[in-house]
Structure 1
Amino acid sequence: MKYDASFQAVSASRRAFLRGAVGMVSATSFSSSLALTGSALRPTDKTIVVTFGGGARDEETFAEEGQANIPNLLHTLLPQGTFFTQVRNAGILGHYVATASIVTGVYERFNNFIAQPPPNPTLFEYFRRELRRPETDAWVIAPSNGFQKIGSSSARGFGPQFGAGVILPKRLLSAASRNTPNLFDNDQLQHFLQDNYEMPSYDISATAQDNEMHLDTLESTLRLSVQDFVQHAKTLDSADELSIFIARRLMDQQAPSLMMLTLHDMDVAHSGAFSLYIDAIQRADRLCAELWKAVQSHPEYKDRTTVYIMPDFGRDADDDPAGNGFQHHRTGSAMARTTWLLALGPHVRQNTVVDRAIESIDLVPTIGCHLGFSTNSPGRCIEELR
C-alpha cells in the first residue's frame, strides 16, 4: 500500500502520545494463555462494536494539545485494554460504505449515498447463520439515516433472514413525533434529525408504513411508550446520546450477543463548525466510557463482553493543500486513512499498545476467530485479540 512511511509516522506519534499520557506498554508477543480460542468460550460471550461515523484527528485527541478532549479514553478505557495505533483503511472514505467495509471485512466499492445492502455477507449474517442465533441476538444502532440497509447483505445464501435488526434513532424519533406532534418542540426535533452534513439533500422522508414499523419497534423491542421515549429524548443533547440510551434498553430487554453502534455527531465537522466538532469528540469520549461502565455493571454482560472501538477513517491535515483540514476527508492521505482500534474485554491484555499495521477489514475475521465462526473476508484475524 502507498504511504507506508506516512502511516508509520502517524503510528509512532500516537505511541509517543500514549506513553507520555498514560504510560502504556508496547506488546511484541503474547502468551497463549491470554488468547482464548472460539471453542473455549462460553456460549454467553458477547461483543459490542462502536464506530465513529466521522473520524477525529490526533490534533484534537491523542496529541498533547487534544488530550483534554478525551479524558475517558486516555485515563479510564485505554489502561484497561489493548490499543492499536495503526489501523489502515484502503477503501472509499465515505461513512456508509466505510462502515459497510468494517462489517463485511471487504473494502466495498458501491455508491456511498444510495441506500443499499452491502454485496458481501456481514458480520451479523456470519454470526447468526453459523452459530444458529435467533433474530433478537444481533442489532445495529445507527444515528445516520443512510444506514438502514447495513444489517444484512444481498449475498447469495445470506440476506435479512440472517441479518441484524437495525434501529435508527432519528427515524424512531421522527415517527414518534408524527404520531404525537405536541410532545416535541419543533426546533429541538430538527436539531436531532439533522443528518448527513456532507450531502444535506439526502431524503429522509418516511411513509406511514415506516412510521408504524418504527413505533412497533419502540413498543415490542424496546418496551417503551411513545410518550416515554420522546420525553427521554427531550433531556438529551444529541442523537449519539439517544443511541447509547437505546443500546442500554436493548441490553436490558433483549441482551443481544452482538451489537454495533455508530456514533455520528462528530461528522458535524463537514459544516465547518470547529467548536461543534470538538463538542462531539468530547461527547463520544464520555459515551464510550458510559457504555463500558454499563457493560461492567450489567449481569448479562459483566466479564463476558468484548468491546471494540474504532473510527471509520481519519480526516485531512491542516497543511494538506488538497484538503480542508478538520472539515473533510477527501485527500486519501495517510492521515485520512490511518485510524486506531481499542479493544477491551476479559480476554484482552490491559495497558498495552500495538504498533504493527492492521486493516479496518480485519475486525470481522477477528470477531469470528474469537466467537468461533468462519468468515469469507480477505482481512486477517488480529493475533493479539484472537
Structure 2
Amino acid sequence: MPHSLGHLSSPRAISATRRDFLRGTIGALSLASMPRSLTAQTSILRATQKTILVTFGGGARDEETFAEEGQENIPNLLRTLLPQGTFFSQVINAGILGHYVATASIVTGSYERFDNFIAQAPPNPTLFEYYRKGLRRPATDTWVIAPSNGFQRIGSSSHKNFGPEYGAGVILPKRLLAAALHDNKATDGEALSHLLQDSYEMPEYQPLQSGMDRELHLDMLESSLRLSVQDFVQKARSLDSADELSIYITRQLMKQQAPSLMMLTLHDMDIAHSGSYSLYVDAIQRADRLCAELWNMVQTDPEYKDRTTLYIMPDFGRDADNDPAGNGFQHHRTGGAMARTTWMLALGPHLRQNTIVDHPIESIDLVPTIGSYLGFETASTGKVIRELL
C-alpha cells in the first residue's frame, strides 16, 4: 500500500529528499554547482545528432520511484541509467495537470491552457515544428509515438507561421492496432483489449474510426514502419502492455527511418485512475525496464550510438496521500507540491555523468534547451537549462 511522505510540503523539500536518498543508495554523486560552458552550443546541427524524449504520461510520485520505499520499483533508472547521466531533482510543472495539455506544454515550451479533453492542436509551435523549419529537416526526421486519446494533434500547432507543414509524424499504437485487427479480421481482438484501452482518466472519450482513418493507419504501418498487418498483429499477441507496443514501434522507426528527433509517451501507469495501486506500481516497474531497453537500443544501433541525447521525465506527479483535497496516488487534482514537482534524467555523450542538479527548473525549459543545443530558434517562454549544453 502507498506510504505517505507528508513532510514533503514544498518543491525544495522534495528535491532535497530525492538528493539525499540517491546519495545514500548509489554512493558518491557530484552536485552540479556551476553550469557547463556555453561553448558547447552550436549554430549548425551536426548531421549525426539524435534526440529522444520519453515522458511518463500518468505521472509518478516519489513514494513509488525515487523515495527510499519506492526505489525497488526503478532498479534500471536508479542503478543503470542515472550513473550515466545528469539528474534534475526539482522539475516544476506550473500548468494544467492533465496529460495531453501537460505534454503539449512540454513540447511547446509554453504552458498551454486549452481543455485537456478536446482533441485540438496546441496554439503555440511545437519542438518538432521549430526543429524542422529552423533546420530544414524532412518530414521523416521527426516522429511522436503517443497514447490515443487526444494526442493525435500533438505533432503540430495551429500557429499561423507553422502548422502541419512543419510537424512531426504521429503514430498512435492503439489506433494502429485497432486498424490492423479490423483489416486482418482477427478473431482474438478481445484477447488484445489490454493493448487497446484508450484512456483511464476519461474512458468514455474514444472517437470512432472511419474507413478512411483505418486506411491512413494501415498505410503508415506499411510505408513508415514497413510491417505487414499480419506481422504486426502477431507481434502484438506476444506483448503484455500498450507501452511495450510503443517501444516496439519505436524500434521499428529507428530501424527503418532513423529519425533524428522522437518523442515517446509511456502511459500504462495512468491506470492509477482506476484505483488499482498494484497495477500502477506494475506499470512504473515496466516503464523502468522499457527505458533501459530503449537506452540499450540506442547503444547497439550504429545510427544512434554515441550521438543520442535521451531525456526521461514524468509529465507531472500525483496527489499526496495526506491531502484531503485529493485521492492520493489515484489522481492529480490538488495542484500541491507532490503533484507539481517531478524530475528529469538526461543522458548523452556531451552530458555529465553521475550528477545531480538541485536547483529548480520547469518542464517548459526543455524546448529552448534543445533548440539552443541543436542550433534552432524557439519562441518558448521557458529558460535554457545551462547544465544540458
Normalised to the residue count of structure 2, the TM-score between the two structures is: 0.96
Asked if 1:191 is matched to 2:194, the reply is yes
After the TM superposition, which residues 345-364 of structure 1 pair with which residues of structure 2 at under 5 Å, given as runs?
A: 345-364=348-367
Which residue of 1 is the match for residue 165 of structure 2?
161
Aligned counterparts of 1:347 and 1:40: Cα–Cα separation in 2: 16
Stretch moving more, 5-14 or 282-291:
5-14
After the TM superposition, which residues 23-62 of structure 1 pair with which residues of structure 2 at under 5 Å, given as runs?
A: 23=27, 24-32=29-37, 36-39=40-43, 42-62=46-66
Aligned counterparts of 1:102 and 1:31: Cα–Cα separation in 2: 23
Which residue of 1 is the match for residue 69 of structure 2?
65
Distance 1:336 1:5, change over 3 A: closer
Asked if 1:216 is matched to 2:194, the reply is no
After the TM superposition, which residues 259-338 of structure 1 pair with which residues of structure 2 at under 5 Å, given as runs?
A: 259-338=262-341
Aligned counterparts of 1:59 and 1:383: Cα–Cα separation in 2: 29
Which residue of 1 is the match for residue 105 of structure 2?
101
Which residue of 1 is the match for residue 252 of structure 2?
249
Aligned counterparts of 2:343 and 2:209: Cα–Cα separation in 1: 36
The alpha-carbon deviation at position 174 of structure 1 amounts to 0.2
Aligned counterparts of 1:313 and 1:219: Cα–Cα separation in 2: 35
Stretch moving more, 185-194 or 353-362:
185-194
Unaligned runs of 5+ in 2: 1-7
Aligned counterparts of 2:348 and 2:191: Cα–Cα separation in 1: 37
Give yes or no for contact 1:93–1:332 (8 Å, CA) kept in 2: yes
Q: Write out per-residue CA displacement over residues 142-183 of structure 1, whole angstroms, 9 at most, x where no aligned residue.
A: 02332000000000110001000000000000000111122x
The alpha-carbon deviation at position 32 of structure 1 amounts to 2.6
The alpha-carbon deviation at position 294 of structure 1 amounts to 0.3
Give yes or no for contact 1:241–1:287 (8 Å, CA) kept in 2: yes
The alpha-carbon deviation at position 188 of structure 1 amounts to 2.4
Aligned counterparts of 1:41 and 1:208: Cα–Cα separation in 2: 40
Q: Write out per-residue CA displacement over residues 186-215 of structure 1, whole angstroms, 9 at most, x where no aligned residue.
A: 322222111211111112310000000000
The correspondence for 2:376, drawn from 365, 373, 379, is: 373
Which residue of 1 is the match for residue 123 of structure 2?
119
Aligned counterparts of 2:139 and 2:308: Cα–Cα separation in 1: 19
Aligned counterparts of 2:32 and 2:15: Cα–Cα separation in 1: 14
Residue type at the aligned position of 1:313:
F
Aligned counterparts of 1:144 and 1:18: Cα–Cα separation in 2: 35
Which residue of 1 is the match for residue 238 of structure 2?
235
Asked if 1:180 is matched to 2:184, the reply is yes
Aligned counterparts of 2:315 and 2:245: Cα–Cα separation in 1: 20
Q: Sequence identity, in percent? A: 73
Residue type at the aligned position of 2:94:
A
The correspondence for 2:207, drawn from 204, 207, 213, is: 204
The alpha-carbon deviation at position 52 of structure 1 amounts to 0.6
Aligned counterparts of 1:179 and 1:247: Cα–Cα separation in 2: 22
Q: Write out per-residue CA displacement over residues 294-319 of structure 1, whole angstroms, 9 at most, x where no aligned residue.
A: 00110000000000001000000011
Stretch moving more, 332-341 or 16-25:
16-25
Aligned counterparts of 2:189 and 2:214: Cα–Cα separation in 1: 18
Give yes or no for contact 1:145–1:170 (8 Å, CA) kept in 2: no
SS of corresponding position for 1:270: helix
After the TM superposition, which residues 125-136 of structure 1 pair with which residues of structure 2 at under 5 Å, given as runs?
A: 125-136=129-140
Q: Write out per-residue CA displacement over residues 24-67 of structure 1, whole angstroms, 9 at most, x where no aligned residue.
A: 2211014538x621237522101000001011111111111111
Unaligned runs of 5+ in 1: none
Q: Write out per-residue CA displacement over residues 216-240 of structure 1, whole angstroms, 9 at most, x where no aligned residue.
A: 0110000000000000011001110
SS of corresponding position for 1:83: strand
Residue type at the aligned position of 1:32:
S
Stretch moving more, 15-24 or 358-367:
15-24
Which residue of 1 is the match for residue 174 of structure 2?
170
Which residue of 1 is the match for residue 385 of structure 2?
382
Which residue of 1 is the match for residue 4 of structure 2?
none
The alpha-carbon deviation at position 246 of structure 1 amounts to 0.5
Give yes or no for contact 1:145–1:171 (8 Å, CA) kept in 2: no
SS of corresponding position for 2:55: strand
Q: Write out per-residue CA displacement over residues 321-356 of structure 1, whole angstroms, 9 at most, x where no aligned residue.
A: 110000000000011000101000011100000000
Give yes or no for contact 2:96–2:113 (8 Å, CA) kept in 1: yes
Stretch moving more, 191-200 or 147-156:
191-200
Aligned counterparts of 1:72 and 1:188: Cα–Cα separation in 2: 30
Aligned counterparts of 1:120 and 1:64: Cα–Cα separation in 2: 39
